[in-house]
Chains A and B, each alone.
Chain A
Amino acid sequence: MTAERPAGRAASWRDWRDWRAWWRHSTARLVVAAALLGAACLIWAATPPGTAGAAGPALVVLAACCLAGGTARLALAGLRRPDTEGYPGPVARLGAWSLDTLRRVPWAEASTLAVLALEALHPARPWHTALLGAALTGYLFAVHLAESSSGRGESAAILRSQAPVLAAGLGLLVLAAGSALLPSAGTGPAGAGLRAAAAIAALLACALALPV
């Protein structure tokens, strides 16, 4: 004999299960993931505050606006223009124009540039930049999955197929950050430039040698 669950409690349990199923299948969680990753990148690049110079606050505002715009674009991706038989009113036309503009602007690219510029304004901190690079790559993948995924399981399949290349890229990222921490062979701007050129050369060599 099993103890019966009270009706109200059973209904709430069913609601909770429905919500969980919806959350698991919908692209909303990818949109939320992209928004959270974008916000984390911005906060990470902006800390510590006050060390990015005069352009810092403006870049923070710009990046935040771009992130908000990108999140709104992803969230409204499924929104269709309402069917109207006749000529639409001013509010409907304004809404349609806003939606078109929202979909045309490259929000993710703009926010990436703003976050990178913000990070570049800070003094050199290789591990901090390396973590930002990993987070930015994750953010771009989340944006891509949110806008192109059409069902459950697809995101995992995409990431699984790209995992070796992503791992190689992250390995190079760690190597570059580690090389930046080593005591410099030469001092001054020439030595730093040399190290950057070496990192880029290593990166290009890996890209060309990629067995794909």
Chain B
Amino acid sequence: MPDHPPGGTAPATALALSWNVSGHARRLLTLAVAGLAIAVGTGRPEFAGLAAPALLLLAAGRRGRPGQVQVTAGLTATRLVEGERAAVTLAVRGADGYTVHLALRPAHHIVPLPGLGGQRPGHAAGRDATLPFTVRRWGRRRTGSAEIILRDRWRLAEGRAVLGLPGLDCYPRPAVQRTRVVLSRLPQRLGEHTARAAGEGAEFGGVREYVPGDRQRSSNWPATTRRGRLQVNTFQAERAQDVIILVDAAWDEGEPGDSVVDRALRGAAAAARAYLGARDRVGFISYRSQARWLVPGLGQRHYYRIAEAMLTAERDRSYDTGFSRLPRAALPPGALILVFSPLADPRLVETLRDLRQRGFAVLIVDVQAGEPWLGRGRTARLAHRLWRLEHQAIRFSLRELGVPVVQWDGQQNLDLPLAPYTRRALVTRR
């Protein structure tokens, strides 16, 4: 089976066809042979007549068949978000006189969708066809393969060939987040968040007496008239902040597509989109057997860099977190650290303790919805109890550190659990 490199449309590939008798021909042959055998055995000519339509159809089949076809395969999108619709486009040449049937043999997490004109999901007829599909779970995915089936006019022979399809990147579907947590102390960089300090922003700060050097356009004439001395308006500074999104992928639990890592990545994608939308610098750390990080950056392009970095969370299969201190290069001073974690690993607490001691503002979104499935019976009940106690201990130690923890089930709007911290600036205390 020829295979494609990941992505895009490949040039036309010559595929050798393997021809076989079709199921329809086998069934007609059964009817014909059985009818003739009964006719001879019982001496009843009507059984020979019963075999007539099948036998004539079998005799009509022709012999000359093409040995190969030219197939061009491609994808309408090689980068998409979970649940988005894409399609495989196929063009078959060199199959004149035959009906062409195309079938998508999907790989893991690829779900064929019904096409136009009442097509069955993953099936299409014709030399040029589009087979729509969707990807159920994020990751660097193989699309699968396309099976090309040629059938003659009488449907007696089937020529089959299989073509490997290009791969694609599927990014986690971002949850909904419209509000943002903003720190009380922001770095000296122009942005969109209103800071406490006076500056040149658009947010009104107050009124004070004019001092030489103030701009004339900021004069507040009503206040000047009331007080008898020249008054000017003051404004608050508008600053940007650095946000580091930390995804704890050291432990996974739950059904694929709704596991804790899935929820953590969807929440992280939402946060990245929300903060980059406000022109903040956003960095990303994947916490697993080794920390992988992206230095903070700006803009839509950086969002896709973060999404690409998220895909490595699946590739890195080792669950042994052998460190508790995140590298200095990944953490700009004064940054807000947003942690998406199931809080199942006590070593993460050590990492967060270290972050707090270094003066970072940390906010944790607990993505563990409910208790993990540990089985039934007495032992499982005991295991559940131990798990609950350990979870409570971790939350308690985080509270002691002054780290706020909010619970998020992955379904609801992310603004709801974050609401207590988005209404006012988050004060950081060392």
Contacts and interface: CB of A to CB of B under 8 A. Distances in A.
Please determine whether chains A and B interact with each other in the same assembly: yes
Interface of A: 24-27, 78, 80, 83-85, 106, 108-109, 112-113, 116-117, 120, 124, 126, 129-130, 132-134, 136-137, 140, 143-144, 147-148, 150-152, 154, 158, 161-162, 165-166, 168-170, 172-177, 179-180, 189, 192-193, 195-200, 203-204, 206-208, 210, 212
A-B complex: 8 closest residue pairs judged by Cβ atoms: A176-B49, A25-B118, A169-B53, A192-B43, A133-B50, A207-B59, A199-B45, A172-B52
B117 interface: yes
Given A112-B31, A154-B125, A165-B60, A207 B55 contact: yes
Contact of B42 (A120, A158, A170, A173): A120
21 contacts: A78-B121, A83-B109, A109-B26, A112-B34, A116-B34, A126-B45, A133-B35, A150-B101, A151-B119, A165-B56, A166-B56, A169-B57, A170-B52, A175-B49, A176-B45, A176-B48, A197-B40, A198-B45, A199-B45, A206-B52, A206-B56
Among A126, A136, A148, A165, residue most surrounded by chain B Cβ atoms (within 10 Å) = A148
Interface in B110-161: 117-121, 123-125, 136, 151, 153-155
Contacts of A116: 31, 34-35, 38, 47, 50
Contacts of A193: 40, 43
B56 A207 contact: yes
Contact of A132 (B41, B42, B50, B120): B50
A180 B124 contact: no
Contacts of B118: 24-26, 151-152
Contact of A143 (B27, B34, B50, B119): B27
Nearest to B25: A144
A196 B34 contact: no
A137 B53 contact: yes
Given A133-B50, A148-B101, A166-B57, A199 B125 contact: no
A27 B118 CA distance: 9
A162 B59 CA distance: 12
Interface of B: 22-24, 26-28, 30-31, 34-36, 38-60, 62, 101, 106, 108-109, 117-121, 123-125, 136, 151, 153-155, 256
Given A148-B155, A151-B125, A162-B154, A200 B56 contact: no
Given A144-B24, A152-B117, A200-B39, A180 B30 contact: no
A47 B368 CA distance: 65
Contacts of B47: 116, 120, 129, 196
A83 B281 CA distance: 38
A107 B194 CA distance: 74
A150 B122 CA distance: 9
Contacts of A168: 56
B328 to A, nearest CB: 36
B26 A106 contact: yes
Q: Is the interface of A mostly helix, strand, loop or mixed?
A: helix
B55 A169 contact: yes
Contact of B30 (A113, A177, A179, A196): A113
Contacts of B48: 176, 196, 199-200, 203
Contacts of B23: 144, 147
A151 B103 CA distance: 13
Among B44, B51, B120, B151, residue most surrounded by chain A Cβ atoms (within 10 Å) = B44
A89 to B, nearest CB: 12
Contacts of A143: 24, 27
A133 B49 contact: yes
Among B30, B41, B56, B117, residue most surrounded by chain A Cβ atoms (within 10 Å) = B56
B415 to A, nearest CB: 31
Given A116-B31, A173-B49, A197-B40, 5 more contacts: A109-B30, A116-B50, A120-B44, A126-B45, A177-B49
Contacts of A169: 52-57
Contacts of B22: 144
B368 to A, nearest CB: 19
Given A173-B49, A180-B45, A180-B46, A150 B119 contact: yes
Contacts of A151: 117-120, 124-125
Contacts of A192: 42-44
B57 A176 contact: no
Contacts of A198: 45
Given A116-B38, A193-B43, A203 B51 contact: yes
